[in-house]
Structure 1
């Protein structure tokens, strides 16, 4: 039996001084860091907190939602990683993306009202769950939140397009590492030294390559002195060369 996300009263946001505080919400919830603009009205922040629940821990393999499920909530990753998986032909699955802390999950369901893919925990993960109808009502009064959601949706679409086309394994791996580094940097972490939360098989699936092809590409980049790899720990020693190799796969 698959593990599914469960929501209960204990999943509420932390409280400060015996009541929910907007300041505490912004300090602890990555949705605040990813979406809420600085200077937002305090009353709106408090309303945003009311539509949010903390969820977790989700263990590796836990299902957040399945393809075809109705859109009832959007999610922000607090810690850990979520992968989005689409069903392909002949029972094959395709990993469309990995969602790191501070990033949103579920935006692709807004148009049709149903999730087009599965969302699965890659490792132990904590989420913020935002009830969609309440969030929609709030964005009608806070255009800046709505605009930021549109930006995040556009970024998801752009990421998928960047990995399409005829590119070599080395180009794809170089682009993947640069982009992961940038996303870690956006969370206040190092862009050049980080631990990959996902395994080679998942990376290969995401890049449209065989696992052994990805391993060889990592090996070639390491032999050239551009990266250093120790298990899942990666150091980007020559980001300039990696970016030059990735070329058009890296957005300006």
Structure 2
């Protein structure tokens, strides 16, 4: 068994990721520079940088689930998803264009966002608990990015890098979970008027509710609770789409709503 990285080395990795994000200068895969890094190290490194941002005034707005499709898990050689944090400094707006140059390798994904009206239980959280606690679902676009050069990532790389999360936007519509088939939401993404991706919500572990329940159980091991008011992004319904300066994206989720996000130079 490989020993976990010592605390000073974890801080070194966190420093490298923080600088890569700040300067938009991606770094080589973490597994090459720090071959002893494992999943536990990666989550602790993620938390180091999250705590730094919180200390500078950011607030936790929720969490995202990554690797929520079986195909992505197989590609990464894992048997469960991963997760990252959604912070107040990651909130995007439909009304304010985003600078593509602020990121290393930006991509977008369409998701069904869960807005919690009550806190979720931890280690014993069930899908029923998720449905009871969810105030509404909303159309969402997650902006993902990798501070790892050329998106050359494995599980430790992406977890340490906040599960490759960079931003998110929710559309204005809110639908109660009881009023929509959460497994059968068809979604389409257009870029500059041309459809570039499509999918259905059951691409997320067969049911996005399953991903939210998994998340509540997973973060409980780190002393974290999914609170009322938090947003949970359970995973993409389609492959990620590259962002180019000047792109204008529109996501349409049947029965749920429409939202847009645009990018400048």
TM-score by length of 1: 0.30
Which structure has the greater CA radius of gyration?
A: 1
Structure holding more strand per residue: 2
Relative to the length of structure 2, the TM-score reads 0.29
| Structure with the higher helix share, 1 or 2 | 1
Specify which structure has the bigger relative contact order, considering alpha-carbon pairs within 8 angstroms and separated by 6 or more residues: 2
